[in-house]
Structure 1
Amino acid sequence: MAWDSKSYVNLGGYQVPKTVFDGMSPMERHKLMMSLRSLQKTKMESDQEKYLDDYDLLKKKYQFVHDAASENNSLLQKYYNSICNKYVVCYLSGYKEKKIGLRWRTEDEIVSGKGHMICSANDCDNTDLKTYEFLFRYDEGGIQKETKVKLRACMECAYKINYGEIKKYLKKKSKKKRRGGSESKSSSSGSKSGSRESKSSSRGSKSSSSESGSTRKRRNRR
């Protein structure tokens, strides 16, 4: 059967109405794609009873149409692979000592959106997130490896993640402020000293003026 590509989104053989797909939030799309991937896996494992139950449930919810001719489309698996080794879960209990633990997510966590749609911190469920990039060093089969990974964190957890940098910035700012204050005091005392010299000079000028007047008086008497 031919499908109008403008009306449907093809997700590995499951044709979801474009209007339904476009109206979903990122979390809803993630859940849909993970559900369809699970459906594919169940079908491949030939657990026909479970497959039919899940199929009917998802079909009712998302109004999709199954197009067996395009089942080879690996979009669902590509999506899974793209997020599999991209995001991590973090442990922040030692954040004040700059000790942040990172680990790869389990499959259940990937499917649920933990570390991607839900805060990366292991004990946080917030969903208002920003993305931070880290260099992740890990051991695989006795070999040390490193790769760039992403942390998705809420405001509170982001503070803990960046605690060391924030402290360093505040310390630097405080030093700069103290230095500026001492320079200001030095400048102020210099200006006071200049003022005293000016007053002294003024007195000297008055004294000279009075001497000059006295001399003129003596000459007139003569």
Structure 2
Amino acid sequence: MKSMSLQERHNYILKKFIISDKSFEGKKNSYDIDIIKEHHRFLWEDNELSDGENSWEMCMARRYYNKLFKEYCIADLTLHKENKVALRWRTRDEVVLGKGQFQCGSRKCEQRENLSSWEVNFAYNEQGENKNALVKLRLCENHSKQLNFTSRKREVKRLKKFSATKGQTQRKNQRNSPVASCFENIVSETNEESEPESRIWNRRLNVELEQPSREIEFERYLEDLLL
């Protein structure tokens, strides 16, 4: 799946693990939160799954959908000049089509290019309880201006990859410096003299440090999809 585009990857995950699920048939007009409440399909714990369902792909799909159903919302910006923005959760069809994720989240806009992610406070009622959540609103340039007409909202940008790359470059430059090379040689010679050869070959690798956990692996894989 890593070779697919973001939209193709999104379609693959939902069509294979969600749309194909019989428990979701006939629910085209239901909201995501209603489907979750009724079926709990993607809120199960790993130990509640059978061996056939506990695959990496199935767990990843559940994690993706779990995040997806409350990650984005749809906005009505008709009264933006009065600082009134109406928000709602996406319908199941909108989730599948990527409306509000890969397509502008303004109610009737179909723009897919030059979208920006804005963080907005969504006040809603769930099971009779008033709740607030910070959600993402994906908008085109025109509707981004409308959203920020009276007050500037917080734009969400991904900087993790850049920061990680920058840190790796700095560490690489430090390792390649003359002082670092000299120090490494000294340490290497000291270790070779002080540690018996038998102990070196009998030493076990720390697998937990070498391999990322499944939690981290999921987050890395889904990072690009949750724009």
Aligned residue pairs total: 124
- Per-residue CA deviation, residues 86-113 of structure 1 (Å, 9 max, x unaligned), is 1000001111111110001111111111
Q: Which residue of 2 aligns with 1:162?
A: 148
1:123 aligns with 2:108: yes
Alignment of 1:28-177 (within 5 A): 28-38=8-18, 40-42=20-22, 70-73=52-55, 74-128=59-113, 129-165=115-151
Q: Which has the higher helix share?
A: 1
Q: 1:36 and 1:77, CA in 2 relative to 1: closer, same or farther beyond 3 A?
A: same
**Pairwise CA RMSD:** 2.3
**What letter corresponds to residue 53 of structure 2 in structure 1?**
E
Q: Which residue of 1 aligns with 2:2?
A: 22
Normalised by the length of structure 2, the TM-score is: 0.50
| Partner Cα distance (2:67, 2:54) in 1 | 18
Normalised by the length of structure 1, the TM-score is: 0.51
Q: Which ranges in structure 1 are unaligned for 5 or more consecutive residues?
A: 1-20, 46-67, 167-222
SS in 2 for 1:99: coil
| Partner Cα distance (1:38, 1:142) in 2 | 28
How much has 1:38 moved relative to structure 2?
3.4
Q: 1:22 and 1:130, CA in 2 relative to 1: closer, same or farther beyond 3 A?
A: same
How much has 1:143 moved relative to structure 2?
2.0
SS in 2 for 1:79: helix
Q: Which structure has more RCO (C-alpha within 8 Å, separation ≥ 6)? A: 2
| Partner Cα distance (2:82, 2:75) in 1 | 15
| Partner Cα distance (1:148, 1:69) in 2 | 35
Q: 1:39 and 1:141, CA in 2 relative to 1: closer, same or farther beyond 3 A?
A: closer
Paired-residue identity, %: 33
SS in 2 for 1:164: coil
| Partner Cα distance (1:110, 1:25) in 2 | 17
SS in 2 for 1:124: coil
- Per-residue CA deviation, residues 111-160 of structure 1 (Å, 9 max, x unaligned), is 11111111110101111211100111112233211111110111011011
**Kept after mapping to 2: 8 A contact 1:36/1:76:** no
Q: 1:41 and 1:95, CA in 2 relative to 1: closer, same or farther beyond 3 A?
A: same
